Structure 1
Amino acid sequence: MSIFQKVKKNVGSLMLIIVFSKLIGMFRDVVLANCFGTSNVSDAYLIAISVPTLIFYFIGHSLSTAYIPMYNKIKSTKGETKAHDYTNIIISIAMVICTIIVIILLISPDFMVKLFAAGFDDATTNIASYYIRVSAFSLYFMTLVNVYGSYLQIYENFVVPAMVSVPRNIVIILSIIFAYYFGIEFLGWGILFAYVAEFIFLLPFVRRSGYKFKIKINIKDEEVIETFRIITPILIGVSVGQINKIIDKSLASILIIGGVSALSYASIINNAVQEVLVTGIITILFASCSELVAQGKHLEVKKKLSNTIDTMICLLIPASIGVIFLAEPIVKVILGRGNFDGNSIALTMSALRCYTIGLVFLAIRDTIVKVFYAYKNTKITTIISTTAIGINIVFNIILSQIWGINGLALATSISAIFSCVTLYYFLRKKIGDFNLVNTLVVSIKSISCSVLMGLVVIFLFRIIETFSSTVIALIISVSIGILIYFILSVLFRVPLALNWVRKITKRI
């Protein structure tokens, strides 16, 4: 079976798993919003859950990004046994680094809270500090799950790594319910046991593949040295991105009580759209491009990248327009119950609109970054990421003074647009043109179809809502909107829509 066929075979299953996982994740957020709304408890919890997660990106994300292409290289040149030894060394070193960070979190959680949320009062700081202490050990399990997930992806198992969020979210949901009825301290324990559940879920599949972990530290190993050479600029780039999130949350904590929660909820909804529609595509693209680059098939890399970007444009532009037009009912339907009152809805929907402006650019940026990583070229991505954080900080300060937390969300979108355009330019300069003209044509057609669809959808929604509930009005108008967009895309001769027509015609 060819690489393309293997990838194509995995996309359908992966997309279904991601949709299911995101539904569970959305239900988790609904439970949190229902129980604690946009309060100081939810602010403290969201900061506490962010600390190990963001720190994890410094280790786990950087390692996994360098790990996949390096493992493929070792396996093809020195065999699977040597590749397993390399995996053991990487994990062992990562565990040592995690231990150092865990000790810091246990000793000085108050400092971490003030770093992430400078505007918290003493009561909220104490709550967040307790959560951080309790959940600090989750860093070990996050890192192991990330490396093991990357290992399974190398062997074309994309479905299991995509499912790990299901047991995690189930545990978090239970902890939120326990915290609501029996005491807020359960929220902190929920963070820890959620990531333990991920690890327990993933471990049997890793063992079944034939890999067994053994402690092995060899910092002089040539592949490990090369890995850390690749990781260093990735680490800087990732750190820059996480600093961006820290600044957003810290400013939000100063601007208004519940600002951290409102930004987080808006970001969660925005990210859910991207993850459901494109995360599976990006995951498989990186794995396949890493293999294609190793085989020297650069024309196939460009073709696959061009098709991926065009697909994202066709999926995300109408989704973005839909979210912007229907932000209020979307937030109301998903979160608007219990302690999530009208003020919470207003804060969240405004931030959601501002985040959504950068949704397409964010997805394309992440895609291009993965291709750079497949080529083991991390210098350019680091420089651009560093510049983007500077732009984001400037716009954060300016726009937050004008529009509050909406300005913070808009600054994030502006930063994403800059990163996307700049990275596209430099990748095109490195590997040659990957059908820019066609991408621009697809973009113009998709925007035209999406705006027409959006106008019809908001008109239909307002009519249907007058004699029906918000949920039913939203479901009907969105369903009709999808059909309208598809019909318009066919009339405008958008390639993705025409491909679907050919498939449907062929089946009939």
Structure 2
Amino acid sequence: MKLASPAAAVGLAAIVSRLLGYARDVLVANLLGAGPMAEALLAALRAPNALRRTLGEGGLNAALTPIYLRLRMQEGHVHAAAFARTTLILATLALGILGALLALSAGVVIHLSAPGLESRPQDFDLARWWFVLMTPFISVATLASIAAAFLNAERRYVIAALAPAIVNAALVGAYLAIPHVASTPQTMGALMALSLSIGGLLQLGLVLWPLMPALRQAANGLQPGVMAGIGKALRLGAPALVATASFQIIGVVASAIASQEPAALAWFYYADRLFQLPLSLAGVVIGSVVLTELGANRVNASETPAPPGNDMLDHALVSALAIGLPAAAALFVLAEPIIRTLFGRGAFSSSDVSGTSLALMAMAPGLPAGVVARVLLQELLVREKALASAACGIAGITVTALTAVLLTPHWGVSGAGAAVAAGLWAQCLAIASILTSRNWWRPSRAIARPVLVQTLATAIMTAALILAGSGPLLAHASGVRRLTALLLLCAAGGAIYGAIIWIGGGGLPGSGFRKQRAGCQRLLRRNRT
């Protein structure tokens, strides 16, 4: 199965979902700015958001998809459906208990995610109460992710990817209505927290509905191999979840260390949200489409020096870099105009724009490492090397913590952003070293040309953005004119990058101008004959 069509569909759904998520952030920034109320809400949101991103980007696919595929291919659809049904029932019971425990330990969660709030008891209490209102979301979002993993295993990628977009659209509507029914920031924050839990229930319903026919047809009682599959999923699931969650934990750790300074928590949050767009886009596609296709190829394969699906991994790597390289350059060069255009109004001051921009610029160099790590991680996960995957994630988290402790006292929120970049590079190098040392993956010569072309295209695009971004329109315009100028600038940069990629063959290996020209020549010869 070719990756292009499902990846494009999933990617489009992910983009829509992330853009709607930014609309929610813009509303929060306009209503609460970056002051104490905003920091309390964002501290409460930190853990649920990290979990939502991890699960939405395939955090449980690595444990569930290969087992489901093996049961379906070797035992039939009935066994696979029985495995899905039993897993959902047991997960519902476990997650109900987990939600209650999290609500009871809300103070500990806020202490870990934003220790700087403890010096402000009133804000700390608000964050703790708002987190209690969000705890149902954690349970239902995890159940929705389990159901989405089974949808992905059936290659119903678009349905699973569209559900978060629909939920985000509903939340945007709720956030627009909240100012009309709440008069104080405290009430606004409580309603925002409660609406997140309601949105989680909506998402669960959307992904469960397509599975219901298969779940109802599953035979009553336990099929042979189902409980063994669930036991294996539990053994693989915890370390695999650590590995995929590490991309979010890296940000949580850096944010917690940065929270010691006033407003730094809010600055880091808004910068991280922009940083996560390309990283999450790559994660959604890779964690659903690529993992499923690799898993299907591995069902009957053994660990050989030249494993099936290696070409697919190379293709995914080139495609991920095609997102990561230009996105990193654009976020670094255009950080200030982007932040000012999106958030620079209402309670969000000029100093907030400056602090958020510096954090985003410091994070940007880590983006290519993040997308490459996400691709290479799939090879470890599909080989069921979950402990090695978790070790790489822990290495990235450790480097992030050490770097943040060293840099934040001197660079402030920029030091926390640089720590994120350092952690992602450490994790990427750790995964690559394991794969190459065990001869599970070697970068083929075919990807050298596309990567070089992508690097050249990124450099040319960056130079064009620097020249155009220094113009008077973007520097002095405001409102709609600034937004229009920024969109035109981004479109022009994307066009430059895309043109060079197409001419030089910087897409998938073997693509490019020469291949297109050869195809046109063959078509013309057939038409003449």
Same-fold call, TM > 0.5? yes
What amino acid sits opposite 2:74 in the alignment?
T
Structure 1 partner of 2:31: 35
1:480 equivalent to 2:498? Answer no
1:285-304 Cα offsets, whole Å, 9 max, x none, are 11100000114296541101
Structure 2 partner of 1:141: 140
Instruction: Report if aligned partners of 2:84, 2:215 keep a CA contact under 8 Å in 1.
Output: no
Superposed displacement of residue 496, structure 1:
4.3
1:132 equivalent to 2:140? Answer no
The 2-side partners of 1:486 and 1:247 are apart by 36
1:87-125 Cα offsets, whole Å, 9 max, x none, are 233223322322222222232322221222111111111
The 2-side partners of 1:460 and 1:337 are apart by 24
1:396-444 Cα offsets, whole Å, 9 max, x none, are 1001112111111111111111111221122133344433545455434
Structure 2 partner of 1:312: 320
Q: What is the SS of the residue equivalent to 1:15? A: helix
1:193/1:349 CA distance change after superposition, 3 Å:
same
Structure 2 partner of 1:113: 110
Superposed displacement of residue 277, structure 1:
5.7
- Number of aligned residue pairs: 503
1:422 to 426, 430, 443: 430
Structure 2 partner of 1:372: 380
1:189 to 185, 194, 206: 194
Instruction: Report if aligned partners of 1:489, 1:497 keep a CA contact under 8 Å in 2.
Output: no
5+ long unaligned stretches in structure 1: none
What amino acid sits opposite 2:298 in the alignment?
V
1:8 equivalent to 2:4? Answer yes
Q: What is the SS of the residue equivalent to 2:442? A: coil
Q: How does 1:130-169 map to 2 (within 5 A)?
A: 130-169=129-168
What amino acid sits opposite 2:468 in the alignment?
L
Superposed displacement of residue 311, structure 1:
2.0
Further displaced range: 345-354 or 485-494? 485-494
Superposed displacement of residue 164, structure 1:
1.3
Superposed displacement of residue 234, structure 1:
2.2
1:329 equivalent to 2:337? Answer yes
Structure 2 partner of 1:89: 86
Superposed displacement of residue 254, structure 1:
1.1
1:229 equivalent to 2:241? Answer no
- The share of aligned pairs that are identical, in percent, is 16
The 1-side partners of 2:140 and 2:405 are apart by 36
1:230-262 Cα offsets, whole Å, 9 max, x none, are 224324545666654443232222122x22221
Q: What is the SS of the residue equivalent to 1:113? A: helix
What amino acid sits opposite 1:229 in the alignment?
R
Superposed displacement of residue 488, structure 1:
3.4
What amino acid sits opposite 1:78 in the alignment?
E
RMSD: 3.0
Instruction: Report if aligned partners of 1:88, 1:216 keep a CA contact under 8 Å in 2.
Output: no
Q: What is the SS of the residue equivalent to 2:457? A: helix
The 1-side partners of 2:122 and 2:407 are apart by 29
The 2-side partners of 1:497 and 1:440 are apart by 8
Structure 2 partner of 1:176: 175
1:266 equivalent to 2:262? Answer no
The 2-side partners of 1:41 and 1:212 are apart by 50
Structure 2 partner of 1:383: 391
1:12/1:329 CA distance change after superposition, 3 Å:
same
1:17 to 1, 13, 19: 13
1:177/1:214 CA distance change after superposition, 3 Å:
farther
Q: What is the SS of the residue equivalent to 1:137? A: helix
1:361/1:167 CA distance change after superposition, 3 Å:
same
TM-score with structure 2 setting the length:
0.86
